A and B are shown apart, each in its own frame.
Chain A
């Protein structure tokens, strides 16, 4: 199935304005693993005939890692450029594939003049299922499997979104198991605050290894998450324990796309 991915520029040229902008994010655009998540989400959007578009080459980093690294100049330069583009296309609603983009667009752009309704992709998928636009066919290949959900900090604690991803997982024909540290007490994967782009400080353990141990304790077959950075960190964590053949790390969008036979 070929993906239908219109850009805002194409839409504008055709005199249309889509209902929602899909903010792909840098990971979702460039990282090989995260691109699969992006495509899974696009499949869902296509299946549900959501009127969406992407910015394509006009998209730019939101500035999240720069802001968290303490460089407010770089952050605000990025933000102002992005707001000009978004406002130029009269964007009203945005869905993001990454909790970091989600948080920045939602909470940090308004003060710089960028006001949009921003939702995370798990919230959009939940909406589509609730509206009956997306049907899960038999729950995919998850029958009898255990799935645990790793809360991305920027989705959970940062923005209090705990239920949307869990309700989606519960729709699968699988058993949902919680880690001992979950929801408000969820342990970070180690990537936030610009840590993704540097080596960790000296310690006695990597954070993603500590977090992967939580997941291993549940005996889950699948670690689900909703963030491309968490995905990378958890995948590396699973490899650290040589369990990559037994445990998969998947985005909730991928689980749903699979269960909907897309």
Chain B
């Protein structure tokens, strides 16, 4: 009875705290500007199934993709066992589905065990890759400190989780062999699970009944405790991508990558400029929206999709490792753009909750987090957008920051000022006379 109560309290607290944190993140994301991604639902669903569920883009690098898939599949399938754990925990039963499901139960748990073993191998591989192999993208400037700890923490948690599963099933197997526990009837059999029926006897055979029982309980409680710890760690971690990959790919940009968004506020002004009958002193129409800032200076000037992108980023660095600017030693790292955006919107969200909606901390995304040097190094080549396994778009943030600099602060690298003046005056980015445009026709 005590354990049922304890289980119920842990579950409530676990889910409650997680929900509370998720609502905070939701309100942070909704601080962004609006963008319409409600169209084309079937195409969106298809994108989500292929890219998030099927991990299509991961497979451009096959070895990590396979290891990642093992962890992912184990995670998904283990949820079935988790349902049983929750029902057992609340009812005080033991393996409540076993009788009802019979052979299918054995198959299912065996399947989970095999995937868990693969996940264990993958986790060890990932840990060594992060810490022993010096892969450059895991050791860049933006990965120092918390991001590095974060990456390792998740892997250690996974390691513990898998160990708990095998401790639980292994000890249970040996106990079951002896007919100890459960209904008190001597079974003298085996659960026949694919892995624990071998490693159980191998590891735990010499132990006495009481120790076995304790071990099984440690595995069981450890498992569920890790699940809740993991769940509640997510909102503080890059690992949130396991959930956000789905909405983030669903709301992907479905247009050609080369198309930058049209700024309607500018369109209205340009139309006014080109309309000879327009009254330049006209009072704005009643109820017209406040003019927005051109481009983005702070995280709240970005769209909610940009912010969702930032929370979906798991800092894998595929974007940065394919960025031509980064490859050639420039400051720009698309991954850092995403991390900065997330850190800044978290900061703004916390400020708003603490000091009210209009609080100004005197900081901004551009300047305090992202420097001008970074954004001017971008070639808009879309490699980062192409590479991202969950369809994050760092380029649109970079362009919006440039728009703010150029249109609100008139801060343009000097050579670009010349280029822009030439376009305005000569209709070409170079200083050529427009009347010479067809000269090539008659040149030898």
Residues of chain A at the chain B interface (Cβ within 8 Å): 3, 5, 7, 24, 26, 28-30, 35, 38-39, 54, 56-57, 59-61, 63, 65-74, 76-78, 80, 103, 106-108, 111-112, 153-154, 157-160, 184-185, 187-188, 190-207, 209-211
Contacts and interface: CB of A to CB of B under 8 A. Distances in A.
A35 B260 CA distance: 28
Contacts of A80: 270-271, 274
A31 B435 CA distance: 15
Contacts of B295: 70
A155 B321 CA distance: 22
A207 B405 CA distance: 25
Interface in B423-444: 423-424, 427-430, 432, 434-438, 440-441, 443
26 contacts: A24-B437, A26-B427, A38-B440, A60-B428, A65-B419, A65-B423, A66-B419, A68-B402, A69-B416, A70-B404, A71-B407, A71-B412, A78-B427, A108-B260, A159-B258, A188-B324, A188-B383, A191-B379, A196-B429, A197-B429, A198-B415, A201-B376, A203-B329, A207-B324, A210-B327, A210-B328
Given A72-B407, A157-B386, A30 B437 contact: yes
Nearest to B430: A30
B86 interface: no
A192 B407 CA distance: 20
A55 B295 CA distance: 33
A84 to B, nearest CB: 8
Given A65-B429, A210-B324, A54 B438 contact: yes
Given A70-B406, A77-B424, A197-B415, A153 B381 contact: yes
Given A65-B419, A157-B383, A204-B328, A112 B267 contact: yes
Nearest to B255: A107
B437 A195 contact: no
B294 to A, nearest CB: 7
Contacts of A200: 328, 330, 377
A70 B428 CA distance: 17
A30 B406 contact: no
Given A69-B402, A193-B378, A204 B424 contact: no
Contacts of B181: none
Contact of A76 (B255, B267, B403, B405): B267
Contacts of A108: 259-260, 262
Interface residues of B, number: 68
Contacts of B258: 103, 107, 154, 157-159
A73 B263 CA distance: 9
B324 A57 contact: no
Interface in B295-323: 295, 322
B399 interface: yes
B378 to A, nearest CB: 5
B175 interface: no
A76 B407 CA distance: 13
A201 B377 contact: yes
B382 interface: yes
Given A103-B259, A108-B260, A195-B379, A72 B420 contact: no
B402 A70 contact: yes
B418 interface: yes
Contacts of B435: 57
Contacts of A209: 328
B256 A107 contact: yes
A54 B415 CA distance: 30
Nearest to B376: A201
Contacts of A39: 440
Contacts of B441: 3, 5
B328 A158 contact: no
B381 A157 contact: yes
Contacts of A206: 328
Contacts of A204: 328-329
Given A68-B402, A197-B415, 4 more contacts: A57-B434, A107-B259, A188-B324, A201-B332
A106 B378 CA distance: 22
Given A59-B437, A77-B424, A201-B376, A70 B403 contact: yes
A72 B266 contact: yes
A218 B198 CA distance: 52
Given A70-B402, A80-B274, A112-B262, A30 B436 contact: yes
A41 to B, nearest CB: 11
Interface in B224-278: 255-260, 262-263, 266-267, 269-271, 273-274
A35 B443 contact: yes
B190 interface: no
B139 interface: no
B360 interface: no
A30 B428 contact: yes
A68 B438 CA distance: 26
A184 B423 contact: no
A54 to B, nearest CB: 7
B331 interface: yes
A197 B416 contact: yes
B325 interface: yes
A207 B295 CA distance: 27
Contacts of B412: 69-71
B259 A201 contact: no
A188 B378 CA distance: 11
B351 interface: no
Contacts of B382: 153, 157-158
A209 B294 CA distance: 36
A213 to B, nearest CB: 11
Contacts of B420: 66, 69, 71, 74
A163 B172 CA distance: 59
Interface string B357-385: 00000000000000001001111111101
Contacts of B259: 103, 107-108, 158
A60 B419 contact: no
Contacts of A65: 419, 423, 429
A7 B441 CA distance: 11
Contact of B403 (A24, A59, A72): A72
Given A7-B438, A201-B377, A207 B325 contact: yes
Given A26-B429, A61-B429, A153-B382, A160 B256 contact: yes
Contacts of A76: 263, 266-267, 270
